[in-house]
Homo-oligomer: A and B are copies of this chain.
Amino acid sequence: MVNIAVLGYGTVGSGVVEVLNVNGDSINKRCGQEINVKYILDLRDFPGDPIQEKIVHDYNIVVNDPEVKIIVEVMGGVEPAYTFVKESILKGKSVCTSNKELVAKHGAELLELSKTKKVNFLFEASVGGGIPIIRPLNQSLTADEIEEITGILNGTTNYILTKMSNEGSDFDSVLKEAQMKGYAERNPQADIEGFDTCRKIAILSSLAFGMQVDFEDIYTEGITKITDADIKYAKAMGASIKLLGTSRKEQDHVYAMVAPMLIKPTHPLFSVNDVFNGIFVRGNVIGDVMFYGSGAGKLPTASAVVADVVDAAKHIGTNIMTLWSSKKLKLSDIKNAKHRFFVRIADNSDEMKEKVAYIFGHVEEVKAPGVDNEYAFITLQMSEEIYREKAINIDKIISIIRVMF
């Protein structure tokens, strides 16, 4: 029997307990021993809930109990999670977490600490909810040099964009509806401004390239400026707008960014809709692979956490090697990243078209039914810097979206 403690009895924490109850038999079989929840740490009490007798309010009870071998940290946020997790590892306990803020900020340090203590710090649920992506990156794609990781990593924004696309609705009304349905939080900034995606692509990039990618260094744009007119243009192109977190290695440079981008049906992420997530990986020998599934939700996320618990239980006394050094990976300046740009200008006069042709050279005009008095086009591929230098000469630019085809 292996004793575990769950820190935080919120959505994911209660999901972990539920998964262990529902699938206990098969989990224990796969684990080779019984998993027993000894403590649940929460500030609240849960009178009437069968887990009430396991509730403790003092973290020290958990960390000082040598019987507890595995800590499930599902509180979220950097503190006090970081302090609790670090102390747990120092006391020789493995930690399984769904906490992307913690992993993005302190992942490298906690992995190194785990190595010295011969325990494990596992975080499958921190990216892509239930989708197996951390373990595949760490253990399955070991023969490859990763060239690119691009993901739809946030279910809320993907739901909003899908809804806007399917119903032609505008951003604000879809956001309100998503909030009512519980798909978006009351304070949705972390999702819609791309911060959540940013932390997740930072974690994936760190694992892919084996060095610390700081999320603060990643250029991040959200979806708040996407309008129904943009969606109409996308449809006219047979394309779709997705909020993508992407990092790409070109020679010795790594570029990372979060932004809405246009993709076509030939891209494996095109058909990742609603609250689903998808993570596309390109390796230099495996080629293109993609992982798809529920990027959030109580049970899918708990499934990933419990799978980590099983792995931790099977590896008590052995550290599973994870290449993520605390040495910082200096990202290349985004100004050198190359794309095509979809540009909308509030002026469809012949003079403007001539001016655009003069400045940008060849462009591909895009028309969308129901959007008038605009000139919209896709440029040739150019760096962000060159684009900005050119675009400064054109006033009346309404918006740009980067193009992945």
Interface positions of A (Cβ within 8 A of B): 19, 22-23, 26-27, 29-32, 124, 130-132, 135-136, 139-145, 210, 265, 268, 270-271, 283-294, 297, 299-300, 302-307, 309-311, 314, 318, 321, 323
Contact = CB atoms under 8 A, between A and B. Distances in A.
B292 A139 contact: no
A286 B130 contact: yes
A314 B321 contact: yes
A139 B142 contact: no
A366 to B, nearest CB: 23
Contact of A289 (B31, B131, B140): B131
B321 A27 contact: no
A28 to B, nearest CB: 10
A143 B287 contact: no
Contact of A294 (B22, B286, B306): B286
Contact of A23 (B136, B285, B300): B285
A286 B303 contact: yes
Nearest to A302: B285
11 contacts: A23-B285, A30-B142, A30-B321, A31-B142, A130-B285, A135-B140, A285-B303, A286-B300, A287-B294, A289-B294, A291-B291
Contact of A287 (B32, B136, B139, B299): B299
A268 to B, nearest CB: 6
A30 B265 CA distance: 35
Nearest to A144: B303
B287 A27 contact: no
Contacts of A140: 124, 132, 135-136, 304, 307
A143 B286 contact: no
B290 A286 contact: no
Interface SS of A by simple majority: mixed
A287 B130 contact: yes
Nearest to A290: B292
A271 B268 CA distance: 8
Given A132-B136, A141-B307, A289-B291, A284 B31 contact: no
A293 B290 contact: yes
A108 to B, nearest CB: 16
Nearest to A314: B321
A287 B142 CA distance: 27
A108 B140 CA distance: 22
A292 to B, nearest CB: 4
Contacts of A26: 145
A311 B271 contact: no
A144 B321 contact: no
A15 to B, nearest CB: 8
Contacts of A32: 321
Given A303-B285, A323-B30, A143 B19 contact: yes
- 10 tightest CB-CB pairs across the interface, nearest first? A132-B140, A143-B306, A289-B293, A286-B303, A290-B292, A130-B286, A142-B310, A132-B136, A285-B303, A285-B299
Given A286-B300, A291-B291, A318-B318, 18 more contacts: A23-B145, A23-B284, A30-B142, A30-B321, A32-B321, A130-B287, A132-B289, A135-B140, A136-B140, A139-B307, A143-B303, A143-B305, A286-B304, A288-B292, A288-B293, A290-B292, A290-B293, A292-B292
Contacts of A303: 141, 143-144, 283, 285-286
A287 to B, nearest CB: 5
A289 B130 contact: yes
Contacts of A306: 142-143
